[in-house]
Amino acid sequence: MTFPSLSDVEVAQKRIENYVFRTPIIESPDVNSQLGFRLLLKMESFQRTGSFKFRGAFNKISKLVETQSSQGVVAFSSGNHAQGVAAAAKIFDIPAIIVMPSDAPETKITRTRNYGAEVILYDRKEGNRVAIAQQIQKDTGYELIPPYDDLDILAGQGTVALETIKYLETIDCKIDTFLTPISGGGLMSGCALALRGIDPSINLVCVEPSDYNDTELSLAHNKRIKLVPNRPSICDALLLETPGKLTFEIIKTLGVRGISVTDYSTQNAMKIAFNEFKVVLEPSGAIALAAALDKNFDYKPKCILAVCSGGNVDQNFFTETISKI
């Protein structure tokens, strides 16, 4: 199986650098004091479209446009990849059709449509989003933009890590742990490719909801495990039942660790992000922070970087969620 490399991530960074935001890294001295280690947050919730997903989507679509190989795009997504694809398609003035679950947060559906995409809703419990998207691809001839198992998508997502390390070098800061959320695995696999090429000593840890911990279990069993979840999770962007094929091989090969946290921990992280860091995070975007706050590591970290991957959350849901803690 062919993996991208650090050089692929560097090429992606050059391709997207004039379109993505260089998102800030923030910290709280008070939180650091309470934790006993330094905690840095990479704010991809401040990224264009409100999540890291724009990076991979733009890298993929811009490459297609360069080769004139697509007249339109189709994608399936619970919301953040949807917005990334729709926004990138709008920049290049090509049509986009996005398959989204009907129970996705309203803000994600609305914003995807606002970028000019046609949204096709389906029932998450009964429908098959991949099959729906593939049929649309067959009917239209549009290019399918997958959310994770794609070399160009991974390279684009890996620019989060590359950008992070370059900034940390300017402030003479070295991290020992790099945390990201995980579902299909595009973010962590892309970042792992970049970081293993820069500093192999960094602990790479991916985080998912405790009731959707397919990656954690898959890494423990050294093979892809498919879950049969029996309860919902507030992390609407992290509800896959099995890791991606390519992404799992990458994170397994590169020594990524998998851990999980409860929805309660994620809710608490959302509240702390708001009260201490003065930022709004969606549940899936707060889960890496939740893992750092839980301090569930088998070693004593000195400096952790947690990627806050997105901030696309309905206002009422956010206020209700943090008020429960």
pTM of the shown model: 0.96
Note the CATH architecture for domain 53-144.
Answer: 3-Layer(aba) Sandwich (3.40)
Domain limits, the chain? 6-50+150-323, 53-144
Question: Alpha helices of the chain — where are they, by DSSP H?
Answer: 6-16, 29-35, 53-66, 80-91, 106-114, 129-140, 151-170, 186-198, 214-221, 245-253, 263-276, 283-294, 315-323
Of 47-61, 117-131, 192-206, the one with minimum mean pLDDT is: 117-131
3-class secondary structure, 208: strand
pLDDT at 2 over 80: no
Pairing label, strands 177-181, 73-76? unpaired
What is the model's pLDDT at position 67?
Answer: 85
Of 5-14, 76-85, 212-221, 228-237, the one with minimum mean pLDDT is: 228-237
Confidence band for 281, pLDDT divided at 50, 70 and 90: very high
Note the CATH architecture for domain 6-50+150-323.
Answer: 3-Layer(aba) Sandwich (3.40)
Query: How far apart are the C-alpha atoms of 92 and 94, rounded to whole Å?
Result: 6
What is the model's pLDDT at position 68?
Answer: 77
The single-letter DSSP state of residue 309 is -
Mean pLDDT of 6-34: 98
In the chain, the percentage of residues whose pLDDT exceeds 70 is: 99
